[in-house]
A and B are shown apart, each in its own frame.
Chain A
């Protein structure tokens, strides 16, 4: 595909999503796309460490939760703007990522993934018992006047929609930057062969830290956004293991270590979960998880490179 043609598609896609909420004015269609944007951004963030650098994390809900709780607690206890809380949460997540990375990067492959699950679960239990931070009851955000500075909108989802869209575009730009720079090549080399990477002068641990820190920062920002969007958080909604798994699945289904993979993954997965929730209601609880489970099996058996892998295979066949 020529690069000109590619840009036309990009501009067209962006235009469609800019106009979309003006055509679909009901809350639900807007909500679905907001969730798609949010999970695509989360998938892109996960992709930095899990896709590019090949360190599979199943504890990313930790950073999401840190983001949600940091901005919320700062707003409630100190009266700080959620935007500042968002940045602060990002910084806290980066610090936490260093603390986690230090012992966990010594573990390879599945052991790293298991360690991240453990850390995620420990944090959830801790938050469930931390009274100052609302414990199991959770935190209900104070209702403030609608404004961009307060990052609260009650009458319409429209501003949330554009903010989520902006976050997604930011994550896409940064992923593109990583993909084309030394950082991206080094991440891919670390994923490809650790010893081989080391022998070519790559400080493997340092670059793993970079990948995890970037990933944690973005995941955390999504967490803060989520808190401001839903206006209620508790450990079960922002720290669950299932969230870590879905984020990982979004990236894996679309195609790990690619720029567009997580976006494609989110567009497939999130509607499934939203629509089963709406149409099957309480009786259908868990249906989306069953579908996710099936997808995990299908991906890992037939196409480890995800939807992007399938697309590449077809393109190859056409050109032959």
Chain B
């Protein structure tokens, strides 16, 4: 059974077609990478699924239930959590409180939320920084906190929007480990990422967007060799001179 089914999703901004009839399916337990050049419509697709933008047309189904057009807080309650490319941590609150806000999605008791938040902080390796104000964290820790907040809402599907952009190699490697751990904990993951080295090794499947259209889908190493994908990333000029891996 598909966990998430997106059918013919279309989103127009005025005359610009940011998403053009996109079909997407996610099976439970998968990590799916969503890639594409700048402006391909990846974040728009994210926002449409998570209820931040109304769709122009198309449907989104989650666990067979139609969630098209529901507000984002309801979608979060149903089990889809997301992170933001530009982190949206609550900068005047301590790290622990940030995660507790997420944990309150499943409980009304402050005690339980605190317990859950402490577990999540431990899981994400942020325990040592729990008393710090979120605004004072490094960018790597902020991105980690962004994931922790979303994970604390106990999602079935976690959508990560460039959770590793702007990190150095060590930090990226740590972030990849975290994503793998979250998968092992039973959460399905949809990953938007620019860094190919990150997406390819951890994704079960990759979906490629360009100019709002889905141009390829499949196993990572198959997709890399797809003619259209290479064209989209490198342009026509370099297309002929590419070296086979």
Residues of A within 8 A of B (CB): 180-182, 185-186, 188-189, 191-193, 195-204
Contacts and interface: CB of A to CB of B under 8 A. Distances in A.
Contacts of A197: 90, 101
A203 B77 CA distance: 10
Contacts, number: 79
Contact of A199 (B81, B93, B104): B81
Contact of B93 (A188, A200, A201): A188
Contacts of B97: 185, 188
Nearest to A181: B110
Given A182-B113, A186-B104, A195 B52 contact: yes
25 contacts: A182-B104, A182-B108, A182-B109, A182-B110, A185-B97, A185-B100, A185-B104, A185-B113, A186-B101, A191-B92, A192-B89, A193-B88, A193-B89, A196-B84, A198-B72, A198-B73, A199-B81, A199-B82, A200-B81, A200-B105, A200-B150, A201-B73, A201-B77, A202-B101, A203-B71
A264 B228 CA distance: 66
A192 B84 contact: no
A202 B73 contact: yes
A192 B91 contact: yes
A196 B90 contact: yes
- A180, A197, A199, A202: residue with the most chain B Cβ atoms closer than 10 Å: A199
Contact of B88 (A186, A191, A196): A196
Nearest to B77: A201
A198 B153 CA distance: 12
A188 B104 CA distance: 13
A282 to B, nearest CB: 44
A192 B93 contact: yes
A16 B72 CA distance: 50
B211 to A, nearest CB: 26
A200 B52 contact: no
Given A192-B92, A199-B50, A200-B105, 8 more contacts: A186-B101, A197-B101, A198-B76, A199-B82, A200-B101, A200-B150, A201-B104, A203-B74
Given A189-B90, A196-B84, A201 B110 contact: no
Interface string B185-196: 000000000000
A201 B82 CA distance: 10
A199 B150 contact: yes
B143 interface: no
Contacts of B11: none
B33 interface: no
B205 interface: no
B156 to A, nearest CB: 13
A195 B88 CA distance: 8
A192 B76 contact: no
B73 A203 contact: yes
A182 B102 CA distance: 11
Nearest to A180: B110
A201 B76 contact: yes
A102 B44 CA distance: 29
Nearest to B97: A185
Contacts of A200: 73, 76, 81, 101-102, 105, 149-150, 153
Contacts of B153: 200-201
- A186, A188, A191: residue with the most chain B Cβ atoms closer than 10 Å: A188
Interface string B54-68: 000000000000000
Interface in B137-158: 149-150, 153
A188 B109 CA distance: 16
Contacts of A182: 104, 108-110, 113
Nearest to B159: A199
A12 B91 CA distance: 35
A204 B77 CA distance: 13
